[in-house]
Amino acid sequence: METLITVLIGVLVTVATYLILSRNLIRVILGTSLLSHAVHLLLMTMGGLKNGNAPLLGEKGDIYVDALPQALILTAIVISFAVTAFFLVLVYRSYQESRTEDLDVIRGLDDE
Amino acid sequence: MFTIIIAIILPFLAAVLIPFFYKRLSRLHIGWFVLAVPVTMFIILARLLPAIARGDTFLKTINWIPSYDINLSLYLDGLSMIFGLLITGVGSLVILYSIYYLSARESLHHFYIYLLLFMGAMLGVVLSDNILVLYVFWELTSISSFLLIAFWFHRKGSRYGAQKSLLITVSGGVAMLAGFIMVYLMTDTYSIREIASSMSHYMNDPLFLPAMLLVLLGAFTKSAQFPFHIWLPDAMEAPTPVSAYLHSATMVKAGIYLVARLTPVFGGDQVWFWAVSGVGIFTLFWGSFTAVRQVDLKALLAYSTISQLGLIMSLFGIGSVALHFGYGPQSIIYTQATFAALFHLVNHSTFKGALFMVVGIIDHEVGTRDIRRLGGLMALMPITFTIAVIGSFSMAGLPPFNGFLSKELFFTAVLNVKQLDVFSLETWGLMFPIIAWTASVLTFVYCMIIVFQTFFGRYQPEKLEHKGHEAPWGMLISPIILAVFVIGIFFFPNILGSSLLKPAMASIFPGFAEPGELTPHIAAWHGFNPELLMTMGVVVVGGLLYKFLRYWKPVYWLFPTEWRLNALYDFTLGQAERRSSAITKFYMTGYLRDYALYIYIFFFLAVGGGLFLTGAFSFDMSGNAPIRVYEWILVLVMMTAGIAILFVKSRLTATLLNGVLGYSIAIFFVLFRAPDLALTQLVVETVTTALFLLCFHFLPEWKKEEFRPRSKLVNVFISITTGTIVTLIALSVQSNKLFETISIYFQNAYELAGGKNIVNAILGDFRAFDTMLEVVVLFIAGIGVFTLIKLKSGREEQDIEGK
């Protein structure tokens, strides 16, 4: 199970990396979004995917899945959402100002 | 002894006070106030002279950084005394001279602040017993000298000269610091006295040689030894009082001081001998050879300073041989070289200071220093002429001036080298007297140039800016006093010898029993001996060479300009600039993709390579949970969706596929029993997808990515490698369970936090700090989005500028 998910994470990272290396700003952001998916999955997997109850006390049985990675992922999801939202608006503004989303066109000047 | 502390603090204190006085005393030349400082210090030092002459030394320590053994230890012995008196004495004369030299229109407060800063730093160099404190003062002299050289900062030449001298002296200074630290590592002390007494145990230490060479590098750069002499002629852009003070009497002798001070530490070693005396003697020759071709009087004096510094340096090298033999009748004759060095050191400060002041007077009164335009000034400036004759003839080594005595002692020393049979001197020893004699002949030639081409010959008023006339008395006082010393030392050399040089000999040869024996009786007339014959030869051959100067001067044109060291320096500096900017341009392309590539490649090498080399990759799948069917399906869906993103043509499809991934992850969260996560993931994914779609409304449609095939291949390679490495690391980590999870503790959520949802208890109670800051992140992002959309002033301002 863990191995399978890990391979899936590898595929997602590969795709994300390829998108980040592209010239289009939206693709880059899509890449970072994919990367955060991969990271969340990774966090989950590293915590172990053993069977057990959902971490709600009062469930029957006394074996629960690890609750700590879940708390970490919850934090990470919210933060990556905030960053993605900000990035998207940034791209929007950048396009408004420079009329392009091609990274090769909006690169820095030679003298800088 | 407390007075010495005052002496060293006084210049810094005065430098702080100058701006206040400068504003208040607008009518009085600020130099008069400054003059009191070196005079006071001179008196303080001179009052200690009898005690020093008796052989006493003074040590006073003020704690600075005691935990690191770095303290302001002031140590006054014979050697420091010579330099202390030169610094304060010549300093007083130079300030007096500068009062008349610089007009009140100059920014005098800056000038005197820099000068006092320099004076204090220089005193600090010669009085410090702690090598690190010495280094601090050493760099302070470099900095204040830099400020003084560029005093007329509106001139390009001044800035060039200042930059050059700073680059060279500070490079040497840093090398010296490295050497000092090595010395500390060997001897475990910063105190020069303790280093000198214990260094004999460390002669075979692997750090001994590098430490010596690095320290020498510092000394050579500061004292303008070949090939680091090139900064000195360019430093002549400074006002003449600065040249007279820094670049003849004090700063350039800091390196000499260091060599003298460290002779008991490193002396007696073969490398030390060859480095110091070899470089010194070559500098002596090169300086005198180059001086003859100069047409600017100050440049000529600069090269003559280089040459004389080489002379002193070589004498210290020869004198260090005495330490090889240890104390005994055999070694006494070699200590005479050190004595000659100290003696010439004092003499050089007197006559070179006077000569610089003379050149300053000429420059000031007729408006040029170019010897091609000068001539026939003898009748116009009789006093200046007299001082120039005294100074030049002393430099040439003629009686009845002090230069004669020190030159005779110099010849004695180089002749004695021949008799040495250590350090392979039996073969090379003869070189010393030959080079020394040749250099003396050339010295004689340029001294004659100074006197005869300036003051004799045809007076050419049409080439001069002002009609020449004698300088004001105030300007003449200082050179007259120095000239009096030049003659006075000739007639009474032994007063100087017994009061100043004897205690200095004791500090350079601390192990040698009786410093009285090391101090020879100097006599102006010492019979017909080889030295006197050599001097006669110098006069005869030098006179002939001067007479036929224009016939052999073309020899200088044989040496192409491109081969000069200055050209090399400029070339190196230019190349360093060009190369580094080319390298920066090469990798700082401005393309985001390139920078991402650097980061990824570093990641491969550092993480992937590191783990591979340490053999950290290991795979153990035995602990895996079993895979259920719907997990298989979900994984396949996600893989397909992920890979499909790369190939879709439309951005809308890509975004929707990203949504598929997000929702699949939410389902995974469900499967893995994380209800809160699933909830959040669903909401967030929905909002994100909506945001993407919202953005697309304002953005153009995707164009096809235009990459060259090679770049595309690189991208593919990088992506696959990254994914593989991440997978391998994750698998390796999973295979090495180190200890049990700590989450058992959080299962007490109900008892400890009163909540049954463990995840929420963690977020809101156990680790609530994370949650608080996460809220702040969200808040900041919100404000950021708002500002980005609302505030658009930048563009409007640009439009206004555009109009």
Q: Any idea which of B508-512, B596-600, B777-781 has the lowest mean pLDDT?
A: B508-512
**CA-wise closest residue to B301 among B258, B346, B256, B242:** B242
On the question of pLDDT at A112 being above 50, the answer is: no
Round the average pLDDT of chain B to a whole number and report it: 86
- DSSP secondary structure code for residue B247 in this structure: I
3-state secondary structure B306-335: HHHHHHHHHHHHHHCHHHHHCCCHHHHHHH
Mean predicted confidence (pLDDT) in B101-129: 88
On the question of pLDDT at B803 being above 50, the answer is: no
**Three-state secondary structure call for residue A56:** strand
Residue B181: the pLDDT is 93
**Three-state secondary structure call for residue B75:** strand
B643 Cβ under 8 Å from any chain A Cβ: yes
Residue B793: the pLDDT is 60
Mean predicted confidence (pLDDT) in B467-480: 82
* Residue pLDDT, tens place only, B783-799: 999 998 888 765 555 55
Indicate the residue of B627, B688, B742 with minimum beta-carbon distance to A1: B627
First to last CA, chain A: 50
Q: Tell me which range, B207-221, B319-333, B453-467, is most confidently predicted by mean pLDDT.
A: B207-221
Contact B353, B445 (CB under 8 A): no
* Residue pLDDT, tens place only, B28-57: 788 888 888 899 889 988 888 888 888 888
A92 with B742: Cβ contact below 8 A: no
Kindly state the helix (H) or strand (E) to which residue B302 belongs, with its residue range. helix B297-319
CA–CA separation, B317 vs B493, rounded Å?
A: 23
Residue A111: the pLDDT is 52
Residue B789: the pLDDT is 85
3-state secondary structure B412-438: HHHHHHCCCCCCCHHHHCCHHHHHHHH
Contact B490, B524 (CB under 8 A): yes
Percent of chain B topping pLDDT 90: 33
- The CA distance from A81 to the nearest CA of chain B, in Å, is 7
On the question of pLDDT at B562 being above 80, the answer is: no
Residue A107: the pLDDT is 72
CA–CA separation, A76 vs A41, rounded Å?
A: 11
On the question of pLDDT at B167 being above 90, the answer is: yes
Residue B768: the pLDDT is 92
Indicate the residue of A18, A79, A93 with minimum beta-carbon distance to B716: A18
* Residue pLDDT, tens place only, B518-534: 667 666 566 678 888 88
Contact B641, B661 (CB under 8 A): yes
Residue B469: the pLDDT is 74
**Three-state secondary structure call for residue B386:** helix
**Three-state secondary structure call for residue B621:** coil
Facing residues of B685 across strands?
A: none
On the question of pLDDT at B745 being above 90, the answer is: no
A39 Cβ under 8 Å from any chain B Cβ: no
B185 Cβ under 8 Å from any chain A Cβ: no
Contact B448, B371 (CB under 8 A): no
A4 with B631: Cβ contact below 8 A: yes
Side chain identity at residue B629, one-letter code = V
- DSSP secondary structure code for residue B191 in this structure: B
A6 with B731: Cβ contact below 8 A: yes
Phi, psi values for residue B156, rounded to 5°: -65, -40
Round the average pLDDT of chain A to a whole number and report it: 86
- The CA distance from A106 to the nearest CA of chain B, in Å, is 9
How far is the CA of B582 from the CAs of B569, B593, B598, in angstroms? 20, 20, 18
On the question of pLDDT at A43 being above 60, the answer is: yes
- The CA distance from B785 to the nearest CA of chain A, in Å, is 6
Side chain identity at residue B627, one-letter code = I
Q: Token digits for B550? A: 């224009």
A57 with B757: Cβ contact below 8 A: yes
B759 Cβ under 8 Å from any chain A Cβ: yes
Mean predicted confidence (pLDDT) in A38-45: 92
3-state secondary structure B501-535: HHHHHHHHCCCCCCHHHHCCCCCCCCCCCHHHHHH
- Chains A & B: contacts with CB separation below 8 Å: 266
Mean predicted confidence (pLDDT) in B371-394: 86
Residue B802: the pLDDT is 45
Facing residues of B76 across strands?
A: B58
Chain A 49-88, residues with CB within 8 Å of chain B CB atoms: 49-58, 64-68, 70-71, 73-75, 77-79, 81-86, 88
On the question of pLDDT at B514 being above 60, the answer is: yes
Q: Tell me which range, B107-111, B137-141, B475-479, is most confidently predicted by mean pLDDT.
A: B137-141
* Residue pLDDT, tens place only, B631-663: 889 999 999 999 998 888 888 888 899 999 999
B590 Cβ under 8 Å from any chain A Cβ: yes
B607 Cβ under 8 Å from any chain A Cβ: no
* Residue pLDDT, tens place only, B228-263: 989 998 888 889 899 889 888 888 999 999 999 998
A46 with B589: Cβ contact below 8 A: no
Mean predicted confidence (pLDDT) in B445-453: 88
Indicate the residue of A77, A82, A101 with minimum beta-carbon distance to B781: A82
* Residue pLDDT, tens place only, A10-38: 999 999 999 999 888 888 889 999 999 99
Residue B578: the pLDDT is 94
Q: What is the ipTM of this complex?
A: 0.94
Residue B801: the pLDDT is 45
Q: Token digits for A46? A: 């590293």
Q: Taking every pair of C-alpha atoms in chain B, what is the biggest distance, in angstroms?
A: 116
How far is the CA of B223 from the CAs of A16, B115, B232, B328, B568, in angstroms? 62, 19, 9, 32, 20
